[in-house]
Amino acid sequence: MSRTKVAVIGSGNIGTDLMFKVLRLSETLEVAAMVGIDPDSDGLARADRLGVPTTASGVDGLIAMPHFDEIDIVFDATSAGAHHANAAALEPHGKRLIDLTPAAIGPFVVPAVNLDQHLDAPNVNMVTCGGQATIPIVAAISRVTEVPYAEIVASIASKSAGPGTRANIDEFTETTAQAIEAVGGATRGRAIIILNPAEPPLIMRDTVLALIGDPNPETHAAVRESIEAMIAEVAAYVPGYRLEQDIQITAATQSETLVGDTVVTHQISVFLEVEGAAHYLPSYAGNLDIMTSAALRVAEHLAAVSVSVPIRESV
């Protein structure tokens, strides 16, 4: 069976880890190009040693590659600002883009929640690491009962946050909050990220706080079951994804009794941790591992359904 050829733009931590995942784990994808802008980057050096075609001339170098027409899917693991330029350059060529930056040009995709909803979109966005970890939990709650407010806190090791992550902090909070609403189903969402400088570095930990207005114990039991089922779905493609402690459902405090037009009765607290698979990065970098694992899951699904993207003529 022929494999779908993919390219990775971005030879930093995320892009390099993604390359290793495709090489080691995928039976349907083939890395046909690793693209960077720093000829001395470790990612390009490793790709060279593994026999992956490389270019240090960015997206223009990718387009100039002799086998560019054979590439169907392009991962962008650069930055929100760079993705806008990369997407514009690739748009006339009919490539499928999987965006691992917070640029959010295309629709949000969280594999465990809406993998099949945007199969015809030329550019899909993987939200953020915090979004990939927490939005499935919000969605698990909202498919049982209304969620007028959901807040997530993503705590990651400072050492796992490279220049791209640090440059995109504002985009992280904005994009994640939007996706909590658009994909997770909350009426209002909020996102916070913490870069933890602890030594030795701690693995990624995420907290989901959701307010609901249903006091029924049967609903609470159904919420617990829904969350546990969702965690199993995510763990199927992110093996290090798990509950850190039991799900907590407690009566709301006085200050939380009204959100919008909804009378809130209970708060749901879910505490997660994400341990990385250490394909390229340390195991504490679960924040990067969940992004690359989710992107790989999306690419393999797109390759399986083979939905074509129309080629647009350059203007």
Q: Is 13 annotated as a binding residue?
A: yes
- Both tokens of 133, joined, read 């970890």
Q: Which DSSP symbol is given to 122?
A: S
Q: Is 190 annotated as a binding residue?
A: no
Q: Is 163 annotated as a binding residue?
A: yes
Count of CA atoms in the C-beta half-sphere (13 A) of 237:
25
Q: Is 166 annotated as a binding residue?
A: yes
Nearest to 150 by CA among 161, 159, 139, 160: 139
**Strand duo 204-212 + 241-243: pairing:** unpaired
Nearest to 47 by CA among 60, 59, 30, 63: 30
Q: Is 253 annotated as a binding residue?
A: no
Q: Which DSSP symbol is given to 95?
A: -
Is 140 marked active-site? no
Q: Is 162 annotated as a binding residue?
A: yes
Catalytic residue among 129, 154, 177, 186: 129
- Both tokens of 153, joined, read 């806190």
Q: What is the 3-state secondary structure (H, E, C) of 14-70?
A: HHHHHHHHHHHHCCCEEEEEEECCCCCCHHHHHHHHCCCCEECCHHHHHHCCCCHHH
SS3 79: coil
Q: Is 287 annotated as a binding residue?
A: yes
Q: Is 114 annotated as a binding residue?
A: no
Catalytic residues: 129
* Known binding-site positions: 11-14, 160-168, 287
* Known binding-site positions for NAD(+): 11-14, 160-168, 287
